[in-house]
Structure 1
Amino acid sequence: MKLLRLFVIAVSVVLCACSTVSVTNQWRDPSWAGPPASNVVVVGISRSDTMRRVFEDTFAQQLQAAGVQAAASYTQIPPGNGGSVRLRDLVKGTGAQAVLVTRVERVQQKVNVTPSGPYYGGFYGWYGGAWASTPDIHQYEVVTLETSVWDARSEKLIWTVTTENVATSDIPKTSTQLAQTLIPKMKADGVLR
């Protein structure tokens, strides 16, 4: 029985470590006629300037690998809410047709309880096993991100998606997973060329 308990713990740790980004909601403006963007400015909204820079660099690299020209906004826009004029200048200066913005929408604490179950063999075997067995408890955080694409010409929202992923401190890996999930969707929806 202890071997089964260790197996359950190992599987739950591996599943959390290998978690991928899952899309929970997606919307595309049905009135937006395009054309698909081939040049994008990437904006990460974060209180941590380091996390912002890592996210923007990683996502921009993934866009470039997919054949889309991309620029990280931090190169010309300081953190905070005072950068809207500079963002407009950056978009114009780079010739970007779209602005991709990602922000944390929420972080939820989750608890996974896996009962190990008592031993059987009649009531007395079950009763003794019930006292000896305790459930396995695994706590983790689920991060919900909102990624939006704005048309640079009309300044209107044209595409948005929410995603969930198990929280990790590996921002480059998470950013890569997010990009590898969303870039094909944006291409399929005609948002990116």
Structure 2
Amino acid sequence: MKKLYLALWALMLIVMQTGCASVSLVNSWKDAEAPAKQYRKLLVVGVANNNQMRQVFEEVFSDELRKMKLTAISSYTITGVEAKQSRESLEEAVRKTGADGVLITRLVNLKRNTTTQTGFIMSDRGFSHPDFYDPVFMPTDLYGYYGATVSYATFEHRTVEVTTSTVATLQTNLFDAGTGRMVWLGTTSAVDPKGVITVSSKLSGVVIRALASQGLI
């Protein structure tokens, strides 16, 4: 029961993470020699170490595909949330669902860009008298930031702000379930991916539009 509660709590935290993100298609490839075919029943697979993130990603992606009048099955509903993904488990999921295509998305690179700004900051503080303060409104020690009366201060030129942006590169592959052949590959870039729901929704939208433009769905 405790494990179930913790799992639900972790999932709720992930669901609440819906920060801003920019997702775009960097490049794509289609097998020109593959027979022309539209895929109508897709098994959606998210490769992730975090089981809850995988579950949310697959659900969001599958839901976006269903809006296109396609049949989409989240792989975790067949293989289980806790089970480790493998070729054998995916082959079994394809057999059980009768999917004609498999969409697999995984993170291939995570890059953090750091911008440093400098300025003057106060580096020292003092008090004229230890009794000259209000313990409620002006404490003499609140993590070293507040004091009753500053009697001295020095300023130094140093780093005062570090702004970090994160760029996640993800790869989505479409495989033909009957032959196991990869028929499409797309690389997407997500800038500042702060929420798994937001990123999953935007990523699925980008991938779906790309697949539709290629006549694959």
Same fold, TM-score > 0.5, yes or no = yes
Give CA deviations for 1:132-177 in whole Å, capped at 9, x if unaligned.
8x89642121110011000111101110111111233411111000
- CA 1:88/1:186 → structure 2, altered by over 3 Å: closer, same or farther? same
**Equivalent residue for 1:170, pick from 184, 188, 195:** 195
Which residue is equivalent to 2:214?
Answer: 189
**Unmatched 5+ stretches in structure 2:** 1-18, 120-155
Q: CA deviation at 1:114?
A: 7.4
**Is residue 182 of structure 2 the alignment partner of residue 154 of structure 1?**
no
For 1:94, the aligned partner's letter is T
- CA 1:18/1:173 → structure 2, altered by over 3 Å: closer, same or farther? closer
For 1:161, the aligned partner's letter is G
Give CA deviations for 1:1-20 in whole Å, capped at 9, x if unaligned.
xxxxxxxxxxxxxxxx6442
CA-atom RMSD in angstroms: 2.3
Which residue is equivalent to 1:128?
Answer: none
Which residue is equivalent to 1:93?
Answer: 96
For 2:69, the aligned partner's letter is G
State how far apart, in whole Å, the 2-side matches of 1:35 and 1:159 are: 12
**Is residue 25 of structure 2 the alignment partner of residue 23 of structure 1?**
yes
TM-score by length of 2: 0.67
Alignment of 1:19-58 (within 5 A): 19-58=21-60
Greater percentage in helix: 1
Which residue is equivalent to 1:104?
Answer: 107
State how far apart, in whole Å, the 2-side matches of 1:107 and 1:55 are: 17
Give CA deviations for 1:11-66 in whole Å, capped at 9, x if unaligned.
xxxxxx64421111211101112311010000000000000000000000000011
Give the number of the structure whose alpha-carbon radius of gyration is greater: 2
State how far apart, in whole Å, the 2-side matches of 1:152 and 1:45 are: 18
- CA 1:156/1:36 → structure 2, altered by over 3 Å: closer, same or farther? same
